[in-house]
Amino acid sequence: MPDILSPLVGTVLPLSAVPDRLFAQGAMGPGVAIDPPAEVVDAVAPLAGTLLQVFPHAFVVVADDGLAVLVHLGLDTVQLKGEGFTAFAAKGDRVEAGAPVIAFDVPAIRAAGLSSIVPVVVLERSADEIAVLSSEGAAILPGAPLLSI
């Protein structure tokens, strides 16, 4: 299976550092989080596949083999009703790894008093099926290897 790539620039954090109980406990699935810089950043597809869901604040890419990855842009950002997000792709679109999906206005999210931390979660897999390829606290760029199945 191909590696899951980083969907954005930032600092790699363990899911346990996410200030949301469901993500932190791995209830949504295993993965990592990325703390983005205070600028507008593009969130890109972490693997090639089809966009199962595209919300202003999150998206799910499903690879041809069924592997699904959720990228959630900030926490509680659904409250913003799309403010601070610009979608470049839509549900059902086929994307290549690294293709821009959503622009994420990190300063606007933080100004609204919300966390801009981005959980990257492998859906319907257990923690023992994935390996984190980047060390905690490391700087990462979009498209860099992040997780391995």
Provide the annotated active-site residues. 72
- CB neighbour burial string for 100-128, b if at least 16 within 10 angstroms, e if fewer: bbbebbbebbeebebbbbbbbbbbebeee
Residue type, 26: G
Alpha helices per DSSP H over the chain: 21-24, 106-111
- Integer-rounded Cα Rg, in Å, for the chain is 14
* Dihedral of the alpha carbons of 132, 119, 45, 138, in degrees to the nearest 10: -50
The phi and psi torsions of 126 (rounded to 5 degrees) equal -100, 160
